[in-house]
Amino acid sequence: MSALNGLKFVMATKRVAASPTVYRRQKLVAKLAEQLACFEAQQQGDVYTAKRLQRVANTDTGTTDLVEVNRRVREWFWRGENGKLNLAVKYGAATLTLAKGGKNAIEIASAAEMVNTLKVLMTAAGNGELDDAIAEASTKTRKGFGK
């Protein structure tokens, strides 16, 4: 019993899950970080591939194994007609409306500005500034599944 005397015991409960709003924020921040990595890889002339774990049945042993596979990452940015970069922020398959008047893209002049813009968007999403746009896109998506 002397080994336990040095420990501090408390009454605690583990939080089961985050609220849906916090979960959506975290999901968007992760996707923005992925877009940043994709853009930086493209600037260096590389191709960015995200990895994910997938269960694969092993026919020889009859078991399922976890295998790391490449996952396709669709770019949210493109070069517009005026030669400047455009960035549309997506939540799932829906493009977020970022400003009043239905504006859904950000015009960016240079590659350095793109990196900074993605970092600003990550901060804004983490702080909850894009919660209304995320909720609107999420509602549209859910309505698409209704009968």
Averaged pLDDT for residues 133-143:
89
Q: Is residue 67 part of a domain?
A: no
Q: Is residue 94 part of a domain?
A: yes
Report whether pLDDT(38) > 70. Answer: yes
Q: Which structural domain range is residue 35 located in?
A: 20-48+74-144
How do the residues of the chain divide into helix, strand and coil, expressed in percent and rounded to 5?
40, 20, 40
- Mapping DSSP to helix (H, G, I), strand (E, B) and coil, where does residue 91 land? strand
Q: Is residue 127 part of a domain?
A: yes
Q: Is residue 44 part of a domain?
A: yes
Report whether pLDDT(75) > 90. Answer: yes
What is the rounded distance in angstroms from the CA atom of residue 18 to the CA atom of residue 28? 15
Query: CA angle 60-65-66, nearest 5°?
Result: 155
What is the pLDDT, as a whole number, of residue 55?
93
Q: What is the pTM of this model?
A: 0.80
Q: Is residue 4 part of a domain?
A: no
**Number of folded domains that form the chain:** 1
Q: Is residue 43 part of a domain?
A: yes
Report whether pLDDT(147) > 60. Answer: no
Q: Is residue 60 part of a domain?
A: no
Q: Is residue 85 part of a domain?
A: yes
Q: Which amino acid makes up residue 124?
A: A
Averaged pLDDT for residues 61-86:
91
Element (H, E) at 30: helix 20-43
Token pair of 86, please?
A: 């455009």
What is the rounded distance in angstroms from the CA atom of residue 128 to the CA atom of residue 131? 5
Report whether pLDDT(42) > 80. Answer: yes
